[in-house]
């Protein structure tokens, strides 16, 4: 198998890792791509980005009150 962040995954296709990646594991290499987009168009002074591992997506929330969302206008 392949090791990723201390966890052993079997050879073949991995639909979703604990850290929200889709991977292919072979005897020589493990290739992964993310299942989420990173927000870029938001108020960086007052907001922060937090990975939501349940949804495999980022939440943009207020720094001083993470229970409140911030608007994000673009993603990469």
Cβ of 25: how many Cβ atoms within 10 Å? 20
Concatenating the DSSP letter of every residue in 10-32 gives: -SEEES--TTSEEEEE-SS-EEE
pLDDT 10s digits, 13-43:
999 998 889 999 999 999 999 888 888 889 9
**pLDDT at residue 57 in the model:** 86
Would you say residue 4 has pLDDT above 80? yes
The reply to whether 47 and 62 lie within a common domain is yes
Is residue 74 scored above 70 in pLDDT? Answer: no
pTM of the predicted protein model:
0.65
Q: What is the pLDDT of residue 76?
A: 60
User: What total number of domains does the chain contain?
Assistant: 2
Same domain for 52 and 69, yes or no, is yes
Same domain, 52 and 67: yes
């Amino acid at each position: 198998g392949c090791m990723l962040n201390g966890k052993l995954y079997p050879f073949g296709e991995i639909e979703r890792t604990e850290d929200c990646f889709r991977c292919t594991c072979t005897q020589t290499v493990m290739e992964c791509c993310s299942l989420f987009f990173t927000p870029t168009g938001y108020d960086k002074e007052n907001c922060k980005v937090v990975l939501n591992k349940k949804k495999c997506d980022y939440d943009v929330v207020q720094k001083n009150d993470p229970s409140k969302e911030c608007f994000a206008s673009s993603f990469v």
